[in-house]
Amino acid sequence: MSNRIRTFEEYKKEYQFSVEKPEEFWAEKASHFTWKKKWDKVLDWNFEKGESKWFIGGKLNITENCLDRHLATRGNQVAAIWEPNEINDKEIKLTYKELHSKVCQFANVLKSKGVKKGDRVCLYMPMVPELMIALLACARIGAVHSVVFAGFSASALADRINDSEMTIVVTSDGSYRGAKAIGVKKIVDEAIVNCPAVKNVIVLKRTGEEQKMVAGRDTWWHDEIAKVNDQCAAEEMDSEDPLFILYTSGSTGKPKGVLHTIGGYMVYVDYSFRNVFQTEENSIYWCTADIGWITGHSYLTYGPLLSGSTTIVFEGVPTYPDSGRFWQVIDKHKVTHFYTAPTAIRSLMGFGLDPLKPYKLDSLKVLGSVGEPINEEAWHWYNDNIGKGKCPIVDTWWQTETGGILISPLAGITPTKPSYATLPLPGVQPILVDSEGNELKGNGVEGNLCIKFPWPSIIRTTYGDHERCIQTYFSTYKNMYFTGDGCKRDEEGYYRILGRVDDVINVSGHRMGTAEVESAINEHDFVIESAVVGYPHDIKGQGIYAFVICDKKGKTDEVLRTEITAVVNKIIGPIAKPDKIQIVSGLPKTRSGKIMRRILRKIAEGDVSNLGDTSTLLDPAVVDEIVNGALVALKS
């Protein structure tokens, strides 16, 4: 058996084997890596306790597998290409040898700051090569990286820094995104006021904007690397030592720090990357996600580097300097594999076909989609105009918690169907259940998607609160990992993801908890109560609709809306900005005081014809008022 499937027959055989003999199956996949010491046991698990351990007793360092292992065979091959925001600025190409040297160098900087194995390091940076370098430098010395997407506000950043007790932040002076320059360090400064444990801030110069450097705390990246050499032995790590924490939104409370460990994550990400994308030796692979999300961890950084591919890091946005930028980058770098989100496709569709005209796109072989369901119209547009009907599309379903892709076609191997994630990868055992947890057997069924057996990159815990991990993922249905997604298995056994069944909204492929947005809105002094739901949005997939009760104190609805938006921006960041805010005098509640979100969701969708029985509500009249207000809001 190799670690690359070539035919659909092979896929079926390998799948069968992976279910019958999972430990043998994964042991073989793990044998392709460099281990400092082989594992003693492949797997131990107990879903009731929310526990899965893989390659127990194995010792390794993931960066030796991403970098050192390739030096002899492809040291001079380009590992990463950085494409800057400005179309006329020069790209940076780093070979495996150069990337290795830079990672070791920055690892020495971290050491010089006292960072040790197990320490958490916050990376709050734009899409520059140094983000990838810093991330790998953490892994080199056994520190745990926690990347916070640089679009989050100071307050969201501070929450994350404090939650995982981080003492060092790596950032940049500023960032370029399209026509805008954004002050990044300023946000870090504002956050750190509330993070007394932070002792060091390392600042990369990107925009050259003048900075107030705090003596004894803030230093420049370029000064630090000048003080160290580029030799750094890879720390010996246990397979189950943490690799990173990544915060993600759930249906309740504040974001959770999803924790992944080294051995299992490495094996699964590599295996899924090779098989889903079917990259070859000379592939140029471009994932447009930000490194601040799980996709940027698994399939922009670790997956491509583990498999020895060339990966692109793009600093800019799809619409700058014009809406042909993605296509320009594809032609410029002769991209063979392109992985993006449906929301990007839908927004580019809106510009028509003119922006595509100057470009050939003839280097493309495989297209990918991730983050949300891809609607048929977007699928066909992508297929016809970008893939020109000759590139298989892999619609990859997975989650921050799953670490890697679980359900997806293998490019060119699995027959695809628009809007279907198709079939599980070998080693993945999906199961559909009804609300009581009964298995829905056979084909042609629809229910809640669970996974009944562990895979190597499954979430290990939520940082600092394992009980929360059990509650969220392992307690809804006994002995199963619950995904939070609804799903259909059609007559052919193909899976189609239907979207979240919990209180999570998927906005442009980014997860937002309704509770999180509500608690931000409630920070506005005049707000008494709010309820947030998702509604269908042409470009974002889902938009955020907030129903808010205010003590207006003479302010107009317009003013309140602007102020509430500013508060959400400040507390979470622009990605949580409500698309619609409707000021209401009451919310539909049951007699016990529970908000009837089902009714609000229907109203937000514009489907007011059948709201069900509202007579048992505390105040049925409030529904009419909300409906009338919503009809106005939805037209705007």
Smallest separation, CB 299 to ligand WTA (Å): 9
Nearer to ligand WTA, 140 or 577 (CB): 577
Nearest CA-CA partner of 422 in 30, 4, 15: 15
Cα–Cα distance between 368 and 393 in angstroms, integer?
5
Whichever of 140 and 145 has its CB closer to ligand WTA, that residue is 145
**Backbone dihedral angles phi then psi of residue 180, each to the nearest 5 degrees:** -100, 145
Least separation in angstroms between residue 348's CB and ligand WTA is 18
- Do 3 and 271 form a contact (C-beta atoms < 8 A)? yes
Interatomic CA distance for residues 582 and 585, integer angstroms: 10
Phi, psi of 19 (to 5 degrees): -85, -40
Nearer to ligand WTA, 373 or 426 (CB): 373
Judged by the rule CB under 6 A, the positions of this chain that interact with ligand WTA are 248, 293-295, 370-373, 395-400, 421, 483-485, 497, 499-500, 506, 511
Q: Which helix (DSSP H) or strand (DSSP E) does residue 132 occupy?
A: helix 129-141
Query: One-letter amino acid identity for 22?
Result: P
Of 324 and 371, which CB lies nearer to ligand WTA in the complex structure? 371
Residues 611/545, Cβ–Cβ less than 8 Å: no
Given the DSSP bridges, would you call strands 41-46 and 168-172 parallel, antiparallel or unpaired? unpaired
Q: How far is the CB of 231 from ligand WTA (least distance, A)?
A: 36
What is the C-alpha separation between 498 and 490, in angstroms, rounded? Answer: 12
Number of residue whose CB is nearest ligand WTA = 400
Q: Judge contact between 491 and 444, C-beta under 8 A.
A: yes
Closest to ligand WTA by CB, 142 or 368: 368
363 or 375: CB nearest ligand WTA:
375
Query: Which of 399, 514 has the CB closer to ligand WTA?
Result: 399
What distance in Å separates the CA atoms of residue 512 and residue 156, rounded to the nearest whole number?
A: 13
For the bound state, the minimum distance from the C-beta of residue 46 to ligand WTA, rounded and expressed in Å, comes to 24
Q: Closest separation between CB of residue 294 and ligand WTA, Å? A: 5
Distance between CA atoms of residues 120 and 415, nearest Å: 43
Q: Which is nearer to ligand WTA, 303 or 373 (CB)?
A: 373
List 448's β-bridge partners, or say none: 433, 486
Strand pairing of 78-83 and 310-314? parallel
CB of 459 to ligand WTA, least distance (A): 10
In the bound state with ligand WTA, the residue whose beta carbon lies nearer, of 280 and 377, is: 377
Number of helical H runs and strand E runs in the chain = 20, 30
Closest distance between ligand WTA and the C-beta of residue 486, in Å? 9
The CB-side HSE value for 451 (13 A sphere, CA atoms) comes to: 28
| Secondary structure (DSSP) of 176-229 | EETTEEEESHHHHHHHHTT-TT--EEEEE-SS-----PPTTTEEEHHHHHHTS-
By beta-carbon proximity to ligand WTA, the closer residue of 361 and 498 is 498
Minimum CB separation from ligand WTA for residue 482, in Å? 11
Q: Which is nearer to ligand WTA, 104 or 575 (CB)?
A: 575
Greatest distance between any 2 Cα atoms in the chain: 74
Least distance to ligand WTA, CB of residue 71, Å: 31
Q: Which is nearer to ligand WTA, 304 or 588 (CB)?
A: 304
Q: How far is the CB of 139 from ligand WTA (least distance, A)?
A: 20
CB of 577 to ligand WTA, least distance (A): 18
Distances (CA, A) of 235 to 61, 115, 269, 425, 437: 6, 13, 21, 32, 44
> Which own/partner contact pairs does 476-482 have at CB distance under 8 Å and 24+ positions apart?
476/437, 477/433, 477/437, 477/448, 477/450, 478/48, 478/437, 479/47, 479/48, 479/452, 480/47, 480/431, 480/433, 480/437, 480/450, 480/451, 480/452, 481/47, 481/450, 481/451, 481/452, 481/454, 482/448, 482/450
What's the closest the beta carbon of residue 573 comes to ligand WTA, in angstroms?
15
- Shortest separation between residue 397's beta carbon and ligand WTA, angstroms: 4
In angstroms, what is the minimal distance from the CB of 246 to ligand WTA? 9
Q: What is the DSSP string of 394-447?
A: EEEB--GGG-S--B-PPTTTSPP-TT--BSBPTT--EEEE-TT--B--SSSEEE
| Residue 512 · residue 540 · CB < 8 Å | no
Choice between 287 and 348, CB closer to ligand WTA: 287
What distance in Å separates the CA atoms of residue 15 and residue 408, rounded to the nearest whole number?
A: 13
Give the closest residue to 523 by CA, choosing from 592, 461, 587, 570: 570
